[in-house]
Structure 1
């Protein structure tokens, strides 16, 4: 079974909205406006591009990334080369860009579960907060790659949902703190009966 990894920039209070400056959020751009840049903290992003074999996005993230990322050939070369899957009930093939490689529309979380059962390596989820909530609630997330920024942002879309679900146990497999206060935390999700 393929590993499904959610990767996110997150404030200490769990906000993941608009880290790169996307319009519509009052604290947009918080990863670079409010915290000093430390290249070492972003090593995980290069590693993700090297190790992932597919990119999974929700509709809103697809619509935000697809006009921009294909042109960012240096920064996102690894992501751009990956096959992409978009979970949406409203997008059609006519809505997909034609310069971002093969893209498949999945209609449900159940389709993601079937994708996980195919041959291949890790599937990476970028952005896609609503999708991330649904995947976690369905028990499909295997790992979290988090860069936690030393900020309290208050209002905003959060990485973790508020559904009334059973507790999810995590095992910290990698951690590093950087001089700018950012912390890298990689957690594996443990399943009942796992060792």
Structure 2
């Protein structure tokens, strides 16, 4: 039996721009503009094609737009998490990795890494945390802090591609 909350590709391709944005505007963190611009590239032959159009929209945006987009993401276990002001998707994703309840030493490590990363790159560290242990996330965080700025922006966008594909799969019938 199909999930009544999910749309299939035929229904997605019938959405007008406003309906498409209502349905998919939250897939990319605080960036409904991605769905708005990607809609023009439909109809979509597959979920891969839909997601590809969305990612091309982000990657083709001017540098200042991409950096603002990256800055729309919450820090891992950061102030937004402590204030419980993240989007429901981000809260669920961070919670799945145990980032919503950590021992003080891990919380301090995340705070130190978040501050160092933002100073170095000008945007928060972004990683697809679902399915990863906190220790693995911390190790990747420390390693990526040593990367070059241009490489790190691409790494952040690659992680966003993983995150947003998982989010799309939860919204589209027959995917995932």
TM-score, length-scaled by structure 2: 0.23
By relative contact order (CA 8 Å, sep 6+), the higher-ranking structure is 1
**Structure with greater strand percent:** 1
TM-score, length-scaled by structure 1: 0.21
